[in-house]
Structure 1
């Protein structure tokens, strides 16, 4: 049998038959559903049906307040369908009596007459409509009472006022409820008022079925219980019981004999909603239990059988209701899973659109960067030749135009003359406007106005150099813009990828962690896992008040570290302010390494303002940046330049732009910002806290040193200070740090400070190696003290030294082994 089933499943023919039949059946159901919706909603027949039922609906067995509010609402909102609604109302009234038929037609005509006459004075038709209905019903009821009874009594006035008041309220309800019967896709959820209005309208429509029976089963009882089942299944106990109470109340107003059913409907809505986790069967069981309990106490045994049969008929209709209908209804009711899924899908669409727009902006910036950085060698050569032609044309315009040998030089000996003048131009440009004697002699033989030509070349050369420098600055500015646009493009591209990341479902892992901690004896209220990615774990927990015992840091974090196979620490903790409350704790992945720093600095001559600046900051990308900048000279201006350099660099690095692009941007900004010859050095070290790799980017700075045990390693690079050149390449020196290493960075005041020392490298290395301490602050203080001692206590220059110690991040509490598979969690 198993082989037969497997062959049948794996058979292509069988698969096509089953799938084809299922698909054909599904398409047929959809077509039938669309056809029914088209007939009922698009053609307006649903209004005809509702009008028919409302036309025969009564309150207290004699009032008909439903007809005019329904007709007035349809006339205002769907004027083209108003005739269908009026036909339905008159048809329904005709099933009661001829008098009701005439009354329905009369008050509808009276309303139309009054509304059309006074319409031009109305500012807000929607707000005025209930008052029109109230006045029309009051006058119409009084007129009919006077015609039939030939007098008006207090009773007649009281009944007319009651019907008019009900019409006023029902108009407000129908104005809210009618739009919900359309096929238009609603983007917003149903408000509580709209849900109540919809229930009242549906219950009012069902009062039109009072007196109808099918095989001795009351249609109004079957339909009302079906309505309660539907809403209890879709929205739960709260809405289900509300539907039961409202429906039962309206039925009891229509018929006093239906008062007993209000408790049945309310109780069945409550039980059905509580048992909705059992799907349709659970909701149906709730109705059966309510029917048995209320039926046994409310009526005789014979009526109990009839009540059970009516509930069975309602359950049958409930099971025949398509799932697509209940899912569509649930999407608009807050609190349902379908509504949550719809909201999540909407948020996902918003997220995708946002990510797409950000990615498009990233592409735009990438294209702009490419357009700014496209410079080819051929174009540069063409520009050089064109500039040379312009240069020589300006020279010849001032000298050769009035020369009698012009024809001889430029017509017969063009190549020779051109080459001579080009050579003169290049030689004077490279030799500070002086010519070699042999070239000057040869040119004097060739040209009768050689001296005048040389003077003209000197004059034009000044303008040529200025123009060339200006073009170089423009070119460098374009490269700066290109690099910055490229950096922004990369940052926006990464941001678009981050937007598209969703919170993954970790229900299984949450339960495993919950059970593991619970088995260990730790009480946990809730566990929410946002990320389990290696190095970026993010877990939130809610625990009972721990009385300040440090349970999270001492127990939970070590256990999570053992479960997840990586170091977990308490990132944030919000403790309850009262003993019976809860604490919210956030656990995150710890960095593999930590950096401990020490700084020593002094201004020239013991002053208060130093030209050196330093910065130490942990970037969000898991990197630690240490930077020293030395402004040219001393005092406030040097301090301003160095501090400005570090502030610009820090802001650019925090935005996520690469280090090399950040330094080039700072250099270009400082060089283009002012014409003053104020420059600054930059010494930057970027330490990766996950693997302890370090990148050194040195711009005009002194060497750095790494102390590893008794060994001292020198790190240096060759670059001019920031702001001197507008175009330069940043040399990046990479190294691998180890736990226990000391990184020493210093300004030139420390490196070049020792007096009577020929080799500063060896002196600094020896002093670092001789130090017995590994405390960063002590190393910095001792090194500065040694330099000052060598100068006999004099501080000849601004001095700054930063020492960083690399250590493994070991938690305060050791991990506690837990009996759970790491792979599962």
Structure 2
């Protein structure tokens, strides 16, 4: 036991030591990284190194076009580093092999002077920067030639012009690439142009290493191949071969003996990019194969051993390069996995920020709703009623008892009796409008010396008291309505925030399977995007060749997808020829289990043109379907305006996602506030869920609806006042489970109340519906309207509207087309 305890303690000590060492190494690594960043970016060491190498660089054996563009770019982008850049350029020129120190010194001085003149006389010196560099370069070079040789030959003029022209171009290139090496963190992904500019800058820097060698191996060759390895590993064959061509071209200009390097680097970049799936080993193998194949020809054949050793050294450095450094660079190269992750992370951050803002607004509206609800839900307590009564009595006594000489006897000596007596008078006045009780009146006359004045004052103040109480109640009702509306908005915004935060799942395998299956039968499909494979909520988008209106999306593609996913799909939307290649954008979604077919018949009072009734069928999305009838009070244009306005308001609020009851209360609030001439409207609303055929009925002042199910007729009714009469009311919701084949019959009061001779209109309407011999919704509506009009001997005494909807199981037009049975497991893989 003691041995086990000692062993356990030793193990704990060793783990603690390991954790401390690991933490210490992590801290050291972090401090080292921070120190490197401080050296290179804050202290400008990177500018010093680049400037030194560019100061040494030369092309065509006599031109130094890199000095002025680099100085100008640093001067414009990071002016505080201009002095360091100038010193490093001069140091590079002083220690170089080309002997152009005087030209570099004069060019730097000349650029500073000309740049000051340009800044003084022009508003935008950045646009003129290439021209400033061109003028400085050509004037400095020609001036030195004239001083040294005494004359300027055509050859000297030509070379000076070429050098100035290269400086002109390099200035524009360096203006894009210098920020990439002077900034600690790039602010955006690199465009293709910026990548090329960066490669040109790096290749130009490498030319500063011309002449450096160890064990007969050239430093510029090793660095160039290392650069090709890095970019081939990050960007693939396209980027790798491009980097090889650009780097080889610039190195061949710096040293004619390195002309074959362009072919070697380009071929190595191409092979390395093609073999990047083999990780670093594959890219390195590409460089070795390219070195062996190209190195056997031209000038490289004589030194194949040295060339191979240069490639091996470059591979060694490449293998030692930290993975984190390569990943950081890959984030800014379009097309790489790291770039995609960086973009997704950025989009996720934007999405989270947006969702957070929406949630904040949702919480704000919820808090406001609670504050209004708190005031609205406070019931008038006994203490509050006594306070209101005391305020009422103070108004009465101020006009009566304050000037009475018996005030002290009544309100000091006999306070309780006086208070109770006046309270009884008030209650009697509130009950009958005046003091009707003779006994109470006689007792008061015995007690008070001004009885009539007090009673009259109580009558006057009581009317004001009742008005205040009514206003107070209305304010509380309005607070509750506002609270409900704010709570509805809060819920909508909360749901919206959740939708924003939903991430698109990755269905790469399923997308490839669908694409392969569709293309295998000859369909021209560009791409497939699967957004959801959830049962009943499938959503797939794709680009397909335009079918000239033959309906192949509905007749061919949707049935194929239905077989692949074992679920019926249908075309939801189609945008023709939206892509540059003429392809159409088509969206496929899960077919709903039920559909609603609607028929409508209506007629205005007396056969007029304008009816006071309005109806609407609304597709609310998410598988919900609404049917509504509104009957404006009266007839004619004004009644039609009221009923139509009710439905328009309701449709907009429902489509925003607010709950049905809150939507109706909101519409009622608007109408009650707006109506000053007692124009009211009824509302009959049915909300049908097309996924399970469950229906909700909300009836505001409307007559019953009926459901015909075979030989059975079901009555749906609720009791609510018409909209706009009062500001606060409770919406009664009636639920009913519909079945396939059901007929939902909704009508206005003009239909239901038309037969004047009938006492039991419910039984009469049920018998009329039960005697129908057709199931077609339009025919049912026409037949009922005709029989109702005939029952009144052809007289149309009110606006009549009837809406008949049949609930049907959704049977697809086209059967599924079986293909690739093995792909039917896609949904299982996704789950």
Q: TM-score higher than 0.5 here? A: yes
Q: Distance in 2 between matches of 1:341 and 1:671?
A: 55
Q: Distance in 1 between matches of 2:527 and 2:573?
A: 16
Does structure 1 retain, via aligned residues, the 8 Å contact 2:62–2:98? no
Q: Distance in 2 between matches of 1:541 and 1:75?
A: 50
**Cα separation, partners in 2 of 1:824 and 1:14, compared to 1, 3 Å:** farther
Cα offset, 1:672, TM superposition:
1.6
Superposed CA deviations along residues 421-468 of structure 1, whole A, max 9, x for unmatched, are 222222222324452333333333332322222222222222222333
1:627 aligns with 2:628: yes
Does structure 2 retain, via aligned residues, the 8 Å contact 1:593–1:692? yes
**Cα separation, partners in 2 of 1:15 and 1:766, compared to 1, 3 Å:** farther
**Cα separation, partners in 2 of 1:659 and 1:152, compared to 1, 3 Å:** closer
Does structure 1 retain, via aligned residues, the 8 Å contact 2:433–2:459? no
Q: Distance in 2 between matches of 1:333 and 1:227?
A: 15
Q: Distance in 2 between matches of 1:727 and 1:73?
A: 71
**Cα separation, partners in 2 of 1:529 and 1:110, compared to 1, 3 Å:** closer
Does structure 2 retain, via aligned residues, the 8 Å contact 1:45–1:84? no
**Cα separation, partners in 2 of 1:438 and 1:630, compared to 1, 3 Å:** farther
Cα offset, 1:364, TM superposition:
0.3
Q: Distance in 2 between matches of 1:133 and 1:556?
A: 62
Q: Distance in 2 between matches of 1:206 and 1:162?
A: 21
Give the match for residue 709 of structure 1: 710
Does structure 1 retain, via aligned residues, the 8 Å contact 2:260–2:300? no
Cα offset, 1:141, TM superposition:
2.7
**Cα separation, partners in 2 of 1:342 and 1:102, compared to 1, 3 Å:** same
Q: Distance in 1 between matches of 2:643 and 2:98?
A: 99
Give the match for residue 405 of structure 1: 406
Does structure 2 retain, via aligned residues, the 8 Å contact 1:694–1:734? yes
Give the match for residue 48 of structure 1: 48
Cα offset, 1:523, TM superposition:
7.8
Q: Distance in 2 between matches of 1:521 and 1:112?
A: 67
**Cα separation, partners in 2 of 1:213 and 1:577, compared to 1, 3 Å:** closer
**Cα separation, partners in 2 of 1:234 and 1:459, compared to 1, 3 Å:** same
1:647 aligns with 2:652: no
Give the match for residue 489 of structure 1: 490
Cα offset, 1:390, TM superposition:
2.4
Give the match for residue 806 of structure 1: 807
Cα offset, 1:562, TM superposition:
4.7
Cα offset, 1:188, TM superposition:
1.5
Superposed CA deviations along residues 65-112 of structure 1, whole A, max 9, x for unmatched, are 333443444345444444443443333333346953344334434444
Give the match for residue 744 of structure 2: 743
Give the match for residue 3 of structure 1: none
Give the match for residue 683 of structure 2: 682
Structure 2, unaligned runs of 5 or more: 1-10
Normalised to the residue count of structure 1, the TM-score between the two structures is 0.91
**Cα separation, partners in 2 of 1:63 and 1:540, compared to 1, 3 Å:** closer
CA RMSD, aligned part only? 3.1
Q: Distance in 2 between matches of 1:218 and 1:75?
A: 32
Give the match for residue 782 of structure 2: 781
Cα offset, 1:354, TM superposition:
0.2
Q: 1:6-155 residue pairs with structure 2 within 5 A?
A: 31-96=31-96, 100-112=100-112, 115=115, 120-121=120-121, 123-155=123-155
Q: Distance in 1 between matches of 2:520 and 2:692?
A: 35
Which one is further off, 78-87 or 663-672?
Answer: 78-87
Superposed CA deviations along residues 288-330 of structure 1, whole A, max 9, x for unmatched, are 3332332233246432332222222222222222222222222
Give the match for residue 465 of structure 1: 466
**Cα separation, partners in 2 of 1:701 and 1:300, compared to 1, 3 Å:** closer
Does structure 2 retain, via aligned residues, the 8 Å contact 1:739–1:808? yes
Does structure 1 retain, via aligned residues, the 8 Å contact 2:649–2:667? yes
Give the match for residue 792 of structure 2: 791
1:166 aligns with 2:171: no
Q: Distance in 1 between matches of 2:387 and 2:459?
A: 19
1:239 aligns with 2:244: no
Q: Distance in 2 between matches of 1:237 and 1:703?
A: 74
Cα offset, 1:363, TM superposition:
0.3
Cα offset, 1:661, TM superposition:
1.0
Does structure 1 retain, via aligned residues, the 8 Å contact 2:612–2:641? yes
Superposed CA deviations along residues 727-757 of structure 1, whole A, max 9, x for unmatched, are 2111111111111111111222121211311
Does structure 2 retain, via aligned residues, the 8 Å contact 1:671–1:723? yes
Q: Distance in 2 between matches of 1:48 and 1:522?
A: 59
Cα offset, 1:504, TM superposition:
0.5
Cα offset, 1:548, TM superposition:
6.3
Structure 1, unaligned runs of 5 or more: 1-10
- DSSP-derived class of the 1:126 partner: coil
Q: Distance in 2 between matches of 1:339 and 1:487?
A: 41
1:292 aligns with 2:297: no
Cα offset, 1:203, TM superposition:
1.3
Q: 1:750-789 residue pairs with structure 2 within 5 A?
A: 750-789=751-790
Q: Distance in 2 between matches of 1:308 and 1:40?
A: 32
The number of equivalent residue pairs is 814
**Cα separation, partners in 2 of 1:513 and 1:765, compared to 1, 3 Å:** same
Q: Distance in 1 between matches of 2:546 and 2:157?
A: 66
Give the match for residue 259 of structure 1: 259
